[in-house]
Amino acid sequence: MGLSRPRPTIVASLVHLPRLTMAKDFDLMEDSNRSANPTIHEVSDPARRIFVRGALASATAALFGGSLLAGCASTGSSQAASLGRGIGFASVPMRDVDEVLVPPGYTARVLNRWGDPVGIAGKMPAFKTDGSNTADEQALQAGMHHDGLAYYPLDGSRRGLLAINHEYTDDGLLHPDGMKTWSAEKVRKAQAAHGVSIIEVEAGPNGWRQVLPSKYARRITAATPMTISGPAAGHALMKTAADPSGTRVLGTLNNCAHGQTPWGTYLTCEENFIGYFHGPDSPDAHGKRWGLKKGGAGYRWHEYDERFDATRHPNEPNRFGWVVEIDPMDPTMTPIKRTALGRAAHEGAAVALTDDGRAVVYMGEDARFEYIYKFVSRDRVKPGGFAANRDLLDHGTLYVAKFNADGSGEWLPLVHGQGPLTAANGFANQGAVLIQARQASDALGATKMDRPEWTAVDPISKEVYCTLTNNSNRGRDKSPGADAANPRVNNTMGHIIRWKESGDLDATRFTWNHFVMAGDPSLPRAEAKGNIRGDIFGSPDGLWVDPRGVLWIQTDVSTSTLGKGDYANLPNNQMLACDPTKGEIRRFLVGPRGCEVTGIAMTPDLRTMFINIQHPGESPSERSDPDAPTKYSRWPDGGRPRSATVVITKNDGGVIGL
């Protein structure tokens, strides 16, 4: 079959050519929802399982007015939509490779790697291939494990800024001897490898390059001072000995997916933050609900940074799990944790606008049996960028989703004093509701989902999508069984759910369906077959609907699972594209061995795409052997594997995917 197709293009590193996600062990994933909150129905409605076909509603007025989010700020949604949703590239065959494969007629090149200097003038240390860069040097270099990213134009589609998340660290690669020895310096370096990078990029005669130095260049790390704002700021549960005001915190971490606001800021999301904290032998009810445990996930920061020891500083974990707003145009801006959007293991924050100009933020919480959220701002977006909208995300209503078996759904408000969210039930005020958003969602009876990750809003139809990566615990032991929205037990393959608000995006009711059930029809197990029309995939994670209306899907299959069991025919992670009005899903990219494919943005003219390759060569244990760092991969430069941002262009200069 592969012989009859044109050969896919293999990515080129800048080292070789002058032209120019976190794969998670499912058994280690947090699973702390022990509420008595029932699943909606024990038996799935078969009508909801189908892959939805047929035309969407006719195109509506531009979702974002004169601008578009997630990398398209000047084309205009109606202009982009006029290009149509069609996909015209040849499908890339699935292969076990240690390269990036893209369709014939496309070129992919490495743009920015872990350890590359971000571009601060006079402070651009080179990457040391043995992992011996210091903590201070790492704080000036791109962090590890690139994840969500967004493009901000400076000169349209020729020059702009990239904001790039760095989710977590592999200490086996980060230090020459890994964790064989441990020290305060190693903790500082690991903290410096988290967070966000702001870099400047431009297109030239030899392709895209990073601008060095750049007045915009910045690293934001787990030690960067930040402001806490919104209803939970100053709350008793946010106060610590180091910050008795409860309004200042050091750093952001486990930065997974992201959001991009119409007023030009970047939203970075703190996902699996609880794993960084050392807890007591027997955590209290609040700690248990958030997955706090002795030793955390083995990062060992608490051994040299006592604020990560929750036995000594029990409120410090409450200061993480937020959406953080950053102005990429201002390297002096203090990042702000927006508590009105709720505390969660935030995967992403897709932003859209109501017809009257208020911001709506859709968010998934990537943990087993957790929830999907929506925030609606009280005020309208004003012209004038961040300065005019500095407090916009501090005021509004947070909702959690309930999916009914008949295809209807409800947005349940997380508002103090409404329903069970009262002081008598442990919610003293709105700050307590937001800090304990999981407990509040339990009390409201929201739907426990199969690891909701990225959300995306269709700029043409205003339909909303969410990836549900997988949940092998569904139906196991005392865990919830199948329900309408999550219809498969032992859900190893995942699915994508789609809904349409009943009115504008601020509606409190919606209708929903399953866009697709991921899987492989050749598998013997019925619950793993799925119903994909086109190229097979599993564990959907990254998700974006571009301004043309093409749905892009990225996968995050655990390294320990790739090529085995239900994933026998899927040795590598990938990115696919789909015209949602026709239903066919086509493979656009295959990532290198052991990586997650994640992060996606385009320039306003849709002729350049940026994506991230996270943790190439990750070992099945998710921590590399420092004595054999290249055992599983040498991507992208032939040595120590490095997460990287990749730029993709069409050889004829055309629109990506068309």
- Which residue type does 383 have? P
Q: Mean pLDDT, the chain, as a whole number?
A: 91
Which stretch of 54-58, 295-299, 482-486 has the lowest confidence by average pLDDT? Answer: 54-58
79 confidence band (pLDDT: 50, 70, 90): confident
Task: Please give the average per-residue pLDDT across 329-358, as a whole number.
Answer: 98
Mean pLDDT over 274-282 rounds to 98
Mean pLDDT along residues 398-415? 98
Residue 571 and residue 563 in contact, taking contact as beta carbons nearer than 8 Å: yes
The answer, yes or no, to whether residue 43 has pLDDT greater than 60, is no
Q: What share of the chain has pLDDT > 90, as a percent? A: 87
pLDDT at 440 over 80: yes
Instruction: Fill in the amino acid letter for 597.
Output: V
Residue 54's pLDDT band, with cuts at 50, 70 and 90, is: very low
**Mean pLDDT score, 507-516:** 98
Reported as a pLDDT band with limits 50, 70 and 90, residue 9 is low
Q: How far apart are CA 246 and CA 319, in angstroms?
A: 9
Alpha helices (H) along 228-377: 285-289
For 452-463, how does the pLDDT look when each residue is reduced to its tens digit (9 = 90+)?
999 999 999 999
pLDDT tens by residue, 154-177: 999 999 999 999 999 999 999 999
Q: Is the pLDDT of residue 65 over 60?
A: no
In order, the DSSP letters of 122-182 are TB-PPPPTTS---HHHHTTB--SSEEEEEEEEEETTTEEEEEEEE----HHHHSTTTTSS-
pLDDT of residue 369: 98
Task: State residue 81's pLDDT score.
Answer: 82
Give the three-state DSSP class for 268.
strand
The whole-angstrom separation of Cα 428 and Cα 226 is 26
The residue extents of the domains of the chain are 81-271+321-650
Own/partner contacts of 275-284, CB < 8 Å, gap of 24 or more, are 275/30, 275/299, 276/301, 276/308, 276/320, 277/302, 277/308, 277/309, 277/310, 277/316, 277/317, 278/302, 278/308, 278/309, 278/310, 278/311, 279/310, 279/311, 280/310, 280/311
Mean pLDDT of 508-522: 98
Q: Is the pLDDT of residue 84 over 70?
A: yes
DSSP state at residue 292? -
How large is the average pLDDT for residues 408-423? 98
pLDDT score, position 19: 30
User: Given pLDDT bands bounded at 50, 70 and 90, which one contains residue 423?
Assistant: very high
Among residues 222, 120, 220, the alpha carbon closest in space to that of 169 is found at: 222
CA dihedral sign of residues 63, 65, 71, 74? positive
CA distance 636 to 98: 9
State residue 29's pLDDT score: 56
Burial of 28 (0-12, 13-18, 19+ CB in 10 A): middle
Residue 278, strand partner residues: 293, 309
Q: What angle do CA 434, 289, 413 make, to 5 degrees?
A: 30
Give the pLDDT of residue 33. Answer: 79
Grade residue 349 by pLDDT with cuts at 50, 70 and 90: very high
pLDDT of 3 over the 90 cut: no
Helix (H) or strand (E) segment spanning residue 336: strand 336-338
Is residue 89 scored above 60 in pLDDT? yes
Mean per-residue pLDDT, 428-449: 98
Q: Is the pLDDT of residue 35 over 60?
A: yes
The arithmetic mean of pLDDT across residues 72-80, rounded, is 58
| Cβ neighbourhood burial of 463 (10 Å; 0-12, 13-18, 19+) | buried
CA-CA distances (angstroms) from residue 583 to 457, 513, 590? 17, 14, 20
Inform me whether the pLDDT recorded for 18 exceeds 60.
no
Q: Is 523 helix (H, G, I), strand (E, B) or coil?
A: coil
Nearest CA to 492 out of 566, 602, 411, 406 is that of 566
* Weakest mean pLDDT among 59-63, 545-549, 635-639: 59-63
Beta bridge partners of 225: 250
For the segment 283-300, the average pLDDT, to the nearest whole number, is 98
Query: What pLDDT sits at residue 31?
Result: 74
Give the per-residue pLDDT at 629: 97
What is the structure's pLDDT at 87? 97
Q: Which residue has the higher pLDDT, 51 or 376?
A: 376
Residue type, 67: S
Laid out side by side, the sheet with 644-650 consists of 106-113, 644-650, 608-614, 596-602
- Residue 468 sits at φ, ψ, to 5 deg, of -115, 100
Query: Measured between alpha carbons, how far is 122 from 628 in angstroms, rounded to an integer?
Result: 34
- Cβ–Cβ < 8 Å for 455, 473: no
**Residues across the chain:** 658
User: Phi/psi at 456 (nearest 5 deg)?
Assistant: -150, 140
The burial of 539, by beta-carbon neighbours within 10 Å (0-12 exposed, 13-18 middle, 19 or more buried), is given as buried
Q: Which top CATH class is 81-271+321-650? A: mainly beta
Tokens found for residue 615: 């943790």
d(CA 597, CA 125): 27
Portion of the chain with pLDDT greater than 70, in percent: 89
pLDDT band at 73 (very low <50, low <70, confident <90, very high): very low
Q: Is the pLDDT of residue 24 over 80?
A: no
Spatial separation of the C-alpha atoms in residues 56 and 175, rounded to whole Å: 51
- For residue 291, give every residue at least 6 positions away whose Cβ sits within 8 Å of its Cβ, in sequence order, or none: 30, 31, 32, 274, 275, 367
Instruction: State pLDDT tens for residues 591-626.
Output: 999 999 999 999 999 999 999 999 999 999 999 999
Q: Give the pLDDT score at 239.
A: 98
Average pLDDT on 271-298 reads 98
